[in-house]
Each structure stands twice: as C-alpha cells, then as structure tokens.
C-alpha cells in the first residue's frame, strides 16, 4: 500500500509540475523545451532513448516482475 501511495504522489507531482510550467512559462521552461535543450547533445539523447526503449523491453518482452528471493 505504501509503495502505491508513494508512486501516486510522484505522479501527482509530475502532473502539477507540467501544469505549473505552462502557467508560469515566463519563469519556468516547459518539459518540452527542457528536453529540446538537453537532447541536443548526443549523449543525453541516446541515454534517454535507451531508457525509453528499455521500458518497452522490460514490460512487453523480458520478465517484468523479479521473483522473490527468500533470505536476501
């Protein structure tokens, strides 16, 4: 339960930050603008897209849930 609540809080924070950035555009760059700047370097571009690719691999191809390991 606590894990789900934590992720829910994170999700709400992300939505709030997106909305705040659109409301305060004169002081705060939007997520898209930030990505444009960050991903203008190849290292950031490849790193971020690798994580995107891995999300697909992890949830649709590989074993998604790691088995419980007793005694660890």
Partner 1 sequence: MQVTGTRRTVRVRLTIAAWITILILTGAFQFYRAAVPDAIAFLAMAAALVVGETGLLRRFDRRPWHLRRLVVGALLAVDAVVLLFTPRHGFADGIAIAVSGVLVFLVAWPNHPTQDHPLPPWTPRLTRAAIAWAILGIAFCIWELAMYFLGYGAEGRTEYPALSDILDPVLNNPVGRFVGVAAWLAGGIALTRRGRTAP
Contacts of partner 1 in 9-28 (CB under 8 A): 10, 13-14, 17, 21, 26-28
Out of 19, 22, 23, 36, the residue judged to bind partner 1 by CB under 8 A: 36
In the complex, least distance from residue 36 CB atom to partner 1, rounded to whole angstroms = 4
d(CA 52, CA 60): 13
d(CA 1, CA 9): 12
* Residue carrying structure tokens 């088995």: 67
d(CA 32, CA 70): 44
In the complex, least distance from residue 8 CB atom to partner 1, rounded to whole angstroms = 10
Residues that bind partner 1 (CB under 8 A): 2-4, 6-7, 10, 13-14, 17, 21, 26-72
């Amino acid at each position: 339960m606590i894990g789900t609540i934590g992720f829910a809080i994170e999700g709400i924070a992300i939505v709030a930050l997106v909305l705040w950035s659109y409301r305060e555009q004169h002081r705060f760059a939007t997520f898209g603008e930030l990505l444009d700047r960050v991903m203008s370097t190849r290292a950031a571009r490849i790193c971020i897209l690798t994580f995107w690719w891995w999300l697909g691999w992890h949830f649709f191809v590989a074993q998604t849930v790691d088995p419980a390991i007793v005694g660890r």
